[in-house]
Protein backbone atom coordinates (compact mmCIF):
# COMPACT_ATOMS: atom_id res chain seq x y z
CA UNK A 1 0.00 0.00 0.00
CA UNK A 2 1.22 3.50 -0.77
CA UNK A 3 1.65 5.78 2.22
CA UNK A 4 2.28 9.53 2.26
CA UNK A 5 3.07 11.50 5.41
CA UNK A 6 2.43 15.24 5.28
CA UNK A 7 4.04 17.57 7.81
CA UNK A 8 2.20 20.83 7.17
CA UNK A 9 0.29 23.21 9.42
CA UNK A 10 -1.85 24.75 6.66
CA UNK A 11 -4.98 22.61 6.41
CA UNK A 12 -5.81 23.98 2.94
CA UNK A 13 -2.56 22.61 1.52
CA UNK A 14 -3.15 19.28 3.25
CA UNK A 15 -6.67 19.08 1.79
CA UNK A 16 -5.42 19.97 -1.70
CA UNK A 17 -2.66 17.32 -1.69
CA UNK A 18 -4.94 14.72 -0.15
CA UNK A 19 -7.74 15.23 -2.69
CA UNK A 20 -5.34 15.31 -5.63
CA UNK A 21 -3.53 12.13 -4.62
CA UNK A 22 -6.64 10.18 -3.62
CA UNK A 23 -8.30 11.04 -6.91
CA UNK A 24 -5.52 9.15 -8.72
CA UNK A 25 -4.63 6.64 -5.97
CA UNK A 26 -7.74 5.94 -3.88
CA UNK A 27 -5.93 3.10 -2.08
CA UNK A 28 -3.24 5.47 -0.80
CA UNK A 29 -2.98 6.17 2.93
CA UNK A 30 -2.29 9.81 3.78
CA UNK A 31 -1.46 10.94 7.31
CA UNK A 32 -0.87 14.57 8.25
CA UNK A 33 0.85 16.26 11.17
CA UNK A 34 1.04 19.97 11.98
CA UNK A 35 3.92 20.04 14.49
CA UNK A 36 7.36 18.41 14.60
CA UNK A 37 6.37 16.52 17.75
CA UNK A 38 3.33 14.97 16.05
CA UNK A 39 5.41 14.23 12.96
CA UNK A 40 8.17 12.45 14.89
CA UNK A 41 5.63 10.19 16.58
CA UNK A 42 3.85 9.61 13.27
CA UNK A 43 7.06 8.76 11.42
CA UNK A 44 8.09 6.34 14.17
CA UNK A 45 4.74 4.55 13.81
CA UNK A 46 4.86 4.58 10.00
CA UNK A 47 8.43 3.74 9.03
CA UNK A 48 7.15 2.16 5.82
CA UNK A 49 6.10 5.49 4.28
CA UNK A 50 6.72 6.11 0.57
CA UNK A 51 6.81 9.92 0.56
CA UNK A 52 7.24 12.51 3.30
CA UNK A 53 6.10 16.04 2.40
CA UNK A 54 7.79 18.43 4.80
CA UNK A 55 7.08 22.12 5.30
CA UNK A 56 9.62 24.42 6.92
CA UNK A 57 7.60 26.70 9.15
CA UNK A 58 5.02 24.85 11.21
CA UNK A 59 2.42 25.52 13.90
CA UNK A 60 3.28 27.21 17.19
CA UNK A 61 6.53 28.71 15.91
CA UNK A 62 8.07 25.29 15.33
CA UNK A 63 10.08 24.22 12.30
CA UNK A 64 10.42 21.29 9.91
CA UNK A 65 14.15 21.37 10.63
CA UNK A 66 13.38 19.47 13.84
CA UNK A 67 11.99 16.63 11.73
CA UNK A 68 14.64 16.78 9.00
CA UNK A 69 17.53 16.39 11.45
CA UNK A 70 16.08 13.12 12.81
CA UNK A 71 15.51 11.40 9.47
CA UNK A 72 17.67 8.50 8.36
CA UNK A 73 19.47 8.66 5.02
CA UNK A 74 16.82 6.36 3.52
CA UNK A 75 14.00 8.56 4.85
CA UNK A 76 15.66 11.70 3.48
CA UNK A 77 15.61 10.10 0.01
CA UNK A 78 11.82 9.83 0.32
CA UNK A 79 11.34 13.42 1.51
CA UNK A 80 10.04 16.35 -0.50
CA UNK A 81 10.47 19.84 0.93
CA UNK A 82 7.68 22.29 0.24
CA UNK A 83 8.39 25.56 2.00
CA UNK A 84 8.45 29.33 1.62
CA UNK A 85 11.66 29.39 3.68
CA UNK A 86 14.60 29.52 1.26
CA UNK A 87 17.15 28.87 4.00
CA UNK A 88 15.36 25.66 4.94
CA UNK A 89 15.23 24.58 1.30
CA UNK A 90 18.98 25.17 0.99
CA UNK A 91 19.62 23.25 4.21
CA UNK A 92 17.50 20.35 2.97
CA UNK A 93 19.57 20.18 -0.22
CA UNK A 94 22.74 19.78 1.83
CA UNK A 95 21.10 16.89 3.72
CA UNK A 96 20.37 15.10 0.43
CA UNK A 97 16.71 15.96 -0.17
CA UNK A 98 16.29 15.80 -3.93
CA UNK A 99 12.92 17.53 -4.37
CA UNK A 100 12.37 21.03 -3.08
CA UNK A 101 9.55 23.38 -3.97
CA UNK A 102 9.41 26.97 -2.87
CA UNK A 103 5.87 27.94 -1.95
CA UNK A 104 4.55 30.93 -3.82
CA UNK A 105 1.47 32.92 -2.87
CA UNK A 106 -0.47 31.85 -5.97
CA UNK A 107 0.60 28.21 -5.65
CA UNK A 108 1.06 27.66 -9.37
CA UNK A 109 3.89 25.28 -8.52
CA UNK A 110 1.53 22.90 -6.72
CA UNK A 111 1.23 20.98 -9.99
CA UNK A 112 4.99 20.30 -9.83
CA UNK A 113 4.55 18.70 -6.42
CA UNK A 114 1.66 16.58 -7.63
CA UNK A 115 3.74 15.46 -10.62
CA UNK A 116 6.55 14.46 -8.24
CA UNK A 117 4.12 12.49 -6.07
CA UNK A 118 2.59 10.68 -9.05
CA UNK A 119 5.98 9.83 -10.58
CA UNK A 120 7.29 8.54 -7.26
CA UNK A 121 4.22 6.41 -6.60
CA UNK A 122 4.35 5.03 -10.16
CA UNK A 123 8.00 4.02 -9.64
CA UNK A 124 7.09 2.27 -6.40
CA UNK A 125 4.19 0.45 -8.06
CA UNK A 126 6.27 -0.69 -11.05
CA UNK A 127 9.06 -1.94 -8.75
CA UNK A 128 6.70 -4.36 -6.98
pLDDT value of residue 101: 80
pLDDT value of residue 114: 76
> For residues 14 and 8, is the Cβ–Cβ distance under 8 A?
yes
Sign (positive or negative) of CA dihedral 90, 19, 29, 33: positive
Q: At what angle do helices 110-127 and 11-24 cross, to 10 degrees?
A: 40
Q: ∠104-105-108 over CA atoms, to 5°?
A: 60
pLDDT value of residue 125: 66
Output the pTM of the full model: 0.85
Segments of the chain scoring below 70 in pLDDT = 104-111, 125, 127-128
Domains along the chain with CATH numbers = 3-123 (3.40.50.2300)
pLDDT value of residue 107: 52
DSSP bridge pairs for 31: 5
| pLDDT tens for each residue of 54-69 | 999 998 889 999 999 9
Amino acid sequence: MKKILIVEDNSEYVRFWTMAVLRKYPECTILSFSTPQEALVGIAKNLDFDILLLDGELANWTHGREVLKTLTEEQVKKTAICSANRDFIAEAKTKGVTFQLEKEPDWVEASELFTYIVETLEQIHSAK
